[in-house]
C-alpha cells in the first residue's frame, strides 16, 4: 500500500467513518458457483462487501455496504467471517453470533453464546468442505468452539427466484418440487409480461394441471400459445416415457 501511494498512481478509494478499536478484512476465494473472489471489510457503520477488483478494473463500484442488524445494538461486531452466501458477525455484549444473508441482507439466524465460555475474541474458518459441511471456529478467552455449517445453500434458490434469476435459481435446487416452483413462477412472470409463447413453453415443463393451463389459454384467446404448450407438453411426456422404459 505504501508503494502504491508513493507511486502517485491514480488510485480510487472509499472512505468510511469508523470508531473501531480493531477492524477486519476477509477474502473468500472464487468457487465453482461464483468465479469472482469476494471481500468483506468490517467498518464502523457496516460491512463493505463485494468483488475483489480485477486487473482491468480497479474500482469498488460493485461493492455495497451491508448495515449492521438493528437488533444487534449500538456497538459493531468484534469479528466477522465471509462464507459463500452469508456474513457471520460476532458480537461481544451480549455475546452472540448473527448470520446475515449476503443476497438479501436479512438476518437468518442468531445464536447466543454461553457466558460460561468467557469474553469472545474472534473467529476463524476451516474452508475444507466435506459432504457440504465445513467448520467455523469461535474462540473466547477460555474456550474454543467448533460450529459446523451444513447445507448453507438450501434456501438460496428461493432468493434467486425472487430476483427473477431463473437459471441461477435452478442451479441451486436440491429437489424436484423446488424446480417446479421456480418454473411455475417463471411461467407466471412471462404471462404477466404478455409473453404468452414463452409462458406456454415453460408451463409445459411444470407439473401444473394440464386442464387448467389449457383453459387459461383458451379463455384468454391465445391460440398460438396454446399450440406451443401442447407441442412442448408432448415432447416432455415423450421424454418421461422413455425414462420409465
Average pLDDT estimate for 131-142: 84
Average pLDDT over every residue of 211-236:
94
pLDDT at 59 over 70: no
pLDDT value for 140: 92
- Given a cut of 50, whether residue 190 has pLDDT beyond it is yes
Question: For 121-135, how does the pLDDT look when each residue is reduced to its tens digit (9 = 90+)?
Answer: 999 888 666 666 788
Q: How high is the pLDDT of residue 238?
A: 76
Query: DSSP letter string over the chain?
Result: -HHHHHHT------------S---EEEE---SS--S-EEEEE-SSEEEEEEPPBTTB---TT-EEEEPPGGG-SSPPSEEEE-SSEEEEEEETTEEEEEEETTT--EEEEEEPPGGG-SEEEEEEEEEEETTEEEEEEEESS-EEEEEEE-TTTTHHHHHHHTT-HHHHHHT--SHHHHHHHHHHHHHHHHHTT-HHHHHHHHTTS-S-HHHHHHHHHHHT-HHHHHHHHHHHHHHHHHHHHHH-
Between 154 and 208, name the one with better pLDDT: 208
What is the reported pTM?
0.75
245 has a pLDDT exceeding 50: no
In this structure, are residues 141 and 113 in contact, taking their beta carbons and an 8 Å threshold?
Answer: no
Amino acid at each position: 500500500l505504501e508503494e502504491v501511494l508513493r507511486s502517485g498512481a491514480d488510485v480510487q478509494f472509499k472512505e468510511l467513518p469508523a470508531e473501531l478499536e480493531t477492524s477486519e478484512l476477509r477474502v473468500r476465494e472464487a468457487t465453482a458457483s461464483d468465479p469472482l473472489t469476494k471481500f468483506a471489510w468490517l467498518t464502523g457503520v457496516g460491512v463493505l462487501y463485494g468483488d475483489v477488483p480485477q486487473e482491468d478494473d480497479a474500482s469498488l463500484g460493485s461493492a455495497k455496504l451491508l448495515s449492521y442488524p438493528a437488533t444487534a445494538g449500538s456497538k459493531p461486531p468484534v469479528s466477522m467471517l465471509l462464507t459463500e452466501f452469508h456474513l457471520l458477525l460476532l458480537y461481544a455484549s451480549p455475546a452472540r453470533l448473527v448470520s446475515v444473508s449476503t443476497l438479501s441482507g436479512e438476518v437468518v439466524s442468531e445464536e447466543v453464546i454461553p457466558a460460561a465460555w468467557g469474553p469472545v475474541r474472534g473467529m476463524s474458518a476451516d474452508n475444507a468442505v466435506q459432504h457440504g459441511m465445513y467448520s467455523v471456529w469461535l474462540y473466547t478467552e477460555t474456550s474454543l468452539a467448533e460450529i459446523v455449517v451444513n447445507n448453507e445453500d438450501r434456501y438460496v434458490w428461493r432468493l434467486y427466484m425472487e430476483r427473477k434469476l431463473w437459471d441461477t435459481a435452478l442451479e441451486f435446487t436440491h429437489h424436484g418440487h423446488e424446480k417446479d416452483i421456480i418454473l411455475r413462477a417463471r411461467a407466471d412472470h412471462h404471462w404477466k409480461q404478455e409473453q404468452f409463447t414463452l409462458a406456454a413453453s415453460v408451463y409445459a415443463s411444470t407439473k401444473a394441471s394440464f386442464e387448467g393451463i389449457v383453459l387459461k389459454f383458451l379463455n384468454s384467446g391465445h391460440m398460438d400459445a396454446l399450440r406451443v404448450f401442447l407441442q412442448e407438453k408432448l415432447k416432455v411426456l415423450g421424454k418421461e416415457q422413455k425414462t420409465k422404459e
